[in-house]
Amino acid sequence: MTNGRQDDKWKTSAAWRGSQTAEVNGTKSLCSFSLLQFGIMREVTVGIVSIGDMGLGIAKLLKTHGYRVVTVGEGRSEHTLARIEAANITALPTDDELAVQADYILSIVPPVNALATAERIAKACMRSETASRRATLEDVNGQPTRSPLYLFELNATSSRLAEEIGALFLDPSMPGEDPCKCRVLDGGIIGGPPSPNPDGTWRRPSVWTSPPTFAGLADVLNMKVVSARIGAASTLKLSFAALTKGLTALSILSFSTAQQEELLPELLDHLQQYSPHIAALTSAGVIGMSPKAYRWVDEMRYIGEAFDREGCWGGVGRSVYDGFAEVYRTVAEDTILGQERVGARQRGTNVEGAVTIIADRRRKQSGDNGP
């Protein structure tokens, strides 16, 4: 929730005014008999929570392909509201309104916020007025009654949490039933945010999910079904991230140690000479991680949990990846690199700069005031 001042700021934004227009238009459409009788089908509406770097990229991709994209404006930072407005995304006032208007919701939040986000959406879906209001809108597939809402749980979390989130939408007194008519799909995004190519095509990540499939949405978002088992898509995502983000954490440890001993140039030169591919991967990882480090803290912990739970490593996974979580926590909370934003980088834009900041901070924390 926000204080009154931030709420007022949001309610005077163009994004909020757009949400009110959409709501008014939606109310007017309820008075008509049916848009379908005129051969007009309403836009498929995709809700995205929230509009970070990945969410923004996916929103732009969807809008390019004719989808209506909505999000919740309440409680968002001034920076995020500016993003929403610049991308012409409709900002809705509440989670309830999101649950009414959306045909699909994509949850793309920092892992630490995944459960709380799902709880908010579940509460909105389970309100009786949500179901009655959803029923007044035409189904986008031409069905006589509106299709259920689908929540794609696309966050970098463990299979255990995926199961826990799925259970939020079930009625314990009616096994297998979802009174809120919201179906939860386990998923994971592998790759960077979508971005347009010069030729008009899009560079897209892979979005792995549990079934069912939705042909149009799947084509646009590059969705692939991995397994009906809840948690499988999450495990695939974490197994991939263990190699990419895990390598970056290992690189930070390696490079900062070399920097402490004034050996970083020699290490980088040797890498470039004998393993140029690894040199490129590690350098790009260290340069790019600063604005994202805060998100990766909990992701590392979930990777360790997955290795021990699904991989049967009996504590080895946690011992390794809890350490990597501490590396990213140090970057995010103990250094000025944690203040960096994607698209507005000021510090740590080369390997030497990023590693020097980290190494200096670690030296001070250890009490070593040497050279």
Q: What is the pTM of this model?
A: 0.85
Residue 271 backbone dihedrals phi, psi, to 5 degrees: -60, -45
- The CA distance from 338 to 293, in Å, is 7
Q: Is the pLDDT of residue 2 over 60?
A: no
- pLDDT of 33 reads 33
Whether cis (ω within 30° of 0) applies to the bond prior to 239 is no
In the chain, what is the straight-line distance between the N-terminal and C-terminal CA atoms, in Å? 46
pLDDT tens digits, 46-76: 999 999 999 999 999 999 999 999 999 988 8
pLDDT tens digits, 313-355: 999 999 999 999 999 999 999 999 999 999 899 999 999 999 9
Q: Are 335 and 357 in contact (CB under 8 A)?
A: yes
Q: Is the pLDDT of residue 23 over 90?
A: no
Length of the chain: 371
Q: Is the pLDDT of residue 4 over 50?
A: no
Give residue 257's pLDDT band: very low, low, confident or very high (50, 70, 90).
very high
Q: What is each CA distance from 17 to 50, 105, 247, 273, 330, in whole angstroms?
A: 19, 22, 45, 57, 40
Choice among 140-144, 193-197, 272-276, 308-312 with the minimum mean pLDDT: 140-144
- The CA distance from 46 to 37, in Å, is 24
Q: Are 205 and 70 in contact (CB under 8 A)?
A: no
Question: Which amino acid makes up residue 11?
Answer: K
Q: What is the mean pLDDT of residues 356-362?
A: 97
- pLDDT of 143 reads 83
Between helices 232-260 and 276-288, what is the axis angle to 10°?
100
Percent of the chain surpassing pLDDT 90:
76
- pLDDT of 36 reads 41
Taking the CA of residue 371 as centre, how many other CA atoms within 13 Å lie in the half-sphere pointing to its CB?
2
Residue 85: how many other CB atoms lie within 10 Å = 17
Going along the chain from its start, the domains and CATH numbers come out as 40-230 (3.40.50.720), 235-366 (1.10.1040.10)
